[in-house]
A and B are shown apart, each in its own frame.
Chain A
Amino acid sequence: DAGVIQSPRHEVTEMGQEVTLRCKPISGHDYLFWYRQTMMRGLELLIYFNNNVPIDDSGMPEDRFSAKMPNASFSTLKIQPSEPRDSAVYFCASSFRGGSREKLFFGSGTQLSVL
């Protein structure tokens, strides 16, 4: 299996622009998570889906952030408009209920820089 695939690997954009991050989870996994890594807060959970349905979005910073999962093999995280404080590494992860409890499989992340 190819693992969790994220794109792009790096994104540099200017303040005010729209940014879309993409994720393809491992086939057969029914949970998908979006995390953000910063030095100050470590890995923060932004939102997670079960069977394509958002379950908990309490970690989404503000209305500028939105996430969708139109089908079992694709999810997007959108920031509009982007701000310099959004600069971080964004990780997507997936898991399945029948597996080891809470064992997540992470993608390689998207390094976002907002200038």
Chain B
Amino acid sequence: DQQVKQNSPSLSVQEGRISILNCDYTNSMFDYFLWYKKYPAEGPTFLISISSIKDKNEDGRFTVFLNKSAKHLSLHIVPSQPGDSAVYFCAASARRGNEKLTFGTGTRLTIIP
């Protein structure tokens, strides 16, 4: 039972345009969400996070939006750059003190020069 779903296995975007990666979750106990980025032959690295008390968090070119009623979050990258080409994982956790992260299946983003 996949509690965190990334329904798009891949996405291609022109350099300079906006990349939008989507994530849905089913567990209403999740209250903290993260995005990780993974390059080939490397481990995932933390990118950005958002608490359920917010609906938006921004860090430079990266913005995460959270829609709790729809149990949906998205990652926006503006403008997209070739170095953004990677696999992006959405992750979620329930309540502070529970360090367990549940990850999605990932979306491979390719930025076309």
Determine if B99 and A95 form an interchain contact, defined as CB atoms under 8 angstroms apart: yes
B96 touches A48 (CB 8 A): no
B99 touches A43 (CB 8 A): no
> A108 to B43, Cβ gap below 8 A?
yes
Instruction: Annotate B35-78 by CB proximity to A: 1 below 8 A, 0 otherwise.
Output: 01000011111100100000000000000000000000000000
> In the complex the two chains form, what is the Cα distance from A104 to B46 in whole Å?
7
Chain B nearest CB from A31 CB (Å) reads 5
- Partner of A56 from B2, B36, B46, B100 at Cβ < 8 Å: B100
Contact A102 B43 (CB under 8 A): no
Given contacts A102-B32, A106-B44, contact A42 B99 (CB under 8 A): no
In this complex, the member of B44, B89, B106 whose beta carbon has the largest number of chain A beta carbons within 10 angstroms is B44
Chain A interfacial positions (CB closer than 8 Å to B): 4, 31, 33, 35, 39-45, 48, 50, 56, 91, 93, 95, 97, 100-109
Residues of chain B lying within 8 A (CB to CB) of residue A33 = 101
- The answer to whether A103 and B49 have CB atoms under 8 Å apart is yes
B-side interface residues toward A, CB under 8 Å? 2, 6, 32, 34, 36, 41-46, 49, 89, 91, 93, 96, 99-106
- Are the CB atoms of B103 and A103 closer together than 8 Å? no
CB atoms of A48 and B100 under 8 A apart: yes
Q: Which residues of A contact B2 (CB under 8 A)?
A: 41-42
User: Are B32 and A42 in contact, with the CB atoms below 8 A?
Assistant: no
- CB-based nearest B residue for A104: B101
Tell me the smallest distance from the CB of A12 to a CB of chain B, in Å.
Answer: 16
A102→B44 contact, CB < 8 A: no
